[in-house]
Structure 1
Amino acid sequence: MPSALRLRLGLTAVLAASAVLALGAFYAGDSEPGPVDARLGTAAYDVGPPWRNVALALDFLGEPAGATALVVTLMAGCLLLRRPRAAALVAAGATAAVVTATLLKSLVGRTIHGDGNLSYPSGHTAFATALALAVALAATGRLGLGRTAASALVLGAALTAGAAMGWAQVALGAHYPTDALGGWCTALAVVPAAAWLVDRTADRMTGRAGGRTVERRTDGTTRRPPGRRPANRPADRVEDRRAGHTADRNAGRTAHRTADRTTDRRPGRSTGARTGRIAGRTPGRTADAVHREVR
């Protein structure tokens, strides 16, 4: 997860989880559409071709066969782009969203078209939204977007995918509109947590390997972990040898300059000798001028 989006996605996850719980408590044990469902669902129920065919195609992507094919395709694309954390987030985010939605259905107990058809929240909508969030998080790092642009991309992708799948479920009569809303909020609540967990686990595994100084997040961005580099690495040994050679050269130069100053100050050497040496080094200057300078 991009560090710039952690706070925003964290707050979004908290609000989404609150919405899921509030709607679940309101519609617990119910089997009839609520006031919101009656208003929103009237325009979407019983659509005809070609929109019904579009709804059926979207619905297939949420079924076990279609969902598996979609997840495998996205993971393969992430691995080809060398984004293993993004591939892990695709699998973890989709799985977390579907499992959470399934558990909530049993807890809430809302039904549609009979007692055996649990409806809240919509698992199809949660699945589609989770995939869109995972892909958008990977794209933010790949494109190098700023905080505002990245937030717009992530939330826009989640809204588009959730609205499309939610409309398909309502149009086919499989869910109420509030079921789709609950599925959308479920994905917004669990995917940021899944992204944090993937990054945390990958960081620990990279730290145990001990061979990398740069770590890659689920969105493709990198960070340098704290602490010193592992000891006895070839690069460290080369730097140590270079530092040793530099220290030896500096020590040699210092000793040479010290010896020159000591020689100049030895007893027995007259001011005239020093004057002659300086005059020899400074063409065009008279011995008297140099003698006065030395004195």
Structure 2
Amino acid sequence: MRQQVRTAPAALPAAVRAPLAMTAALATAVLVALGILHFHDAGLTGIDAAVLPSIDGVQPPWRYVALVFDFGGEPVGSTILVALIAVVCFLVHRIRAAALTVLGVVVTVAVTTVLKPLVGRTIHGEFLSYPSGHTAMATALALVIGLVLADRLAFDRAAAVVLVLGLALVAAVAMGWAEVALGAHYPTDAAGGFCAALAAVPATGWLVDRVAERL
């Protein structure tokens, strides 16, 4: 049993460990910078003022698409997605990845939950908006999927990094678009959610690997 634990595939494959650590550091800096920039902000400024009018208030049928994405970030939808991905990871013998699926999302959402009242940015007068928890959750799940695929396909470092970050970016753009289109967030809220996941998931993956190796 101990030998199986030691040889279990890593949650954070060695090929992407250093690049994702650097990405996490950069994402943390951007997350903090955006939080300072929009500290107790309640209006459109800068990038948001330029981007939001072209996205906000999307009409059917695209509104229905946005609502589907949004459901994936709601408690019921996110629970289904997390459980599904964790089960798939378990079935393909990626036990640490299954743990990262759950813990990565929990840590990422915890980061966004703590930051919202600290930053105090609001939308529609009373709703805390920075950073976007929906976007962070979608990015976190995409990162886990990318890590598993990169490891199973035995990609080299460059290809693995492109795959992992590419999937994370696609997920963040899709969910971020939905949240902005539905009027729930500003574009920079989505950017903050993306950065929160990029910072939290690699750190959580590293911790999962360390704990598993010690066991």
TM-score (norm 1): 0.68
Counterpart check, 1:127 vs 2:134: no
How big is the alpha-carbon RMSD for the aligned residues of Structure 1 and Structure 2? 0.7
1:68 aligns to what? Answer: 79
Report deviation, 1:170: 0.2
How do 1:153-192 residues align onto structure 2 when only pairs under 5 Å count?
Answer: 153-192=163-202
Aligned to 1:45: 56
Deviation of the 1:139 alpha carbon: 1.1
Q: 1:4 is aligned with what amino acid?
A: A
Question: Which of 120, 126, 134 pairs up with 1:109?
Answer: 120
Q: Name which structure has the greater RCO, CA cutoff 8 Å, separation 6+.
A: 2
TM-score (norm 2): 0.94
- What's the counterpart of residue 25 of structure 2? 14
Report the counterpart of residue 8 of structure 2 in structure 1. none
Q: Does 1:25 find its partner at 2:36?
A: yes
Structure 1 consecutive aligned stretches of length 4 or more whose deviation exceeds 3 Å: none
Counterpart for residue 286 of structure 1: none
Alignment identity in percent?
A: 55
The runs of 5 or more residues in structure 1 that have no matched partner are: 206-295
Give the alignment partner of residue 204 of structure 2, picking from 194, 199, 202.
Answer: 194
* Partner-residue secondary structure (3-state), 2:59: coil
* Structure whose alpha-carbon radius of gyration is higher: 1
Choose which of 137, 143, 161 in structure 1 pairs with 2:147.
137
Distance 1:7 1:144 in 2: 17
Amino acid at match of 1:71: V
Summarize deviations over 1:161-183 as a string: whole Å, max 9, x none.
Answer: 00000000000000000000000
Map of 1:262-273 to 2, 5 A cutoff?
Answer: none
Q: Which residue identity is paired with 1:188?
A: L
Equivalent-residue separation in structure 1 for 2:110 and 2:70 (angstroms): 18
Distance in 1, Cα, partners of 2:135 & 2:197: 8
Shift of residue 6, structure 1, vs aligned partner: 1.3
- Residue 276 of structure 1 corresponds to none
**Structure 2 letter corresponding to 1:92:** L
- Choose from 24, 35, 39 the match for 2:46: 35
Number of aligned pairs? Answer: 204
Provide structure 2 residue ranges, at least 5 long, that are not aligned to the other structure.
Answer: 1-11
Of 58, 61, 67, which residue of structure 1 is paired with 2:69?
A: 58
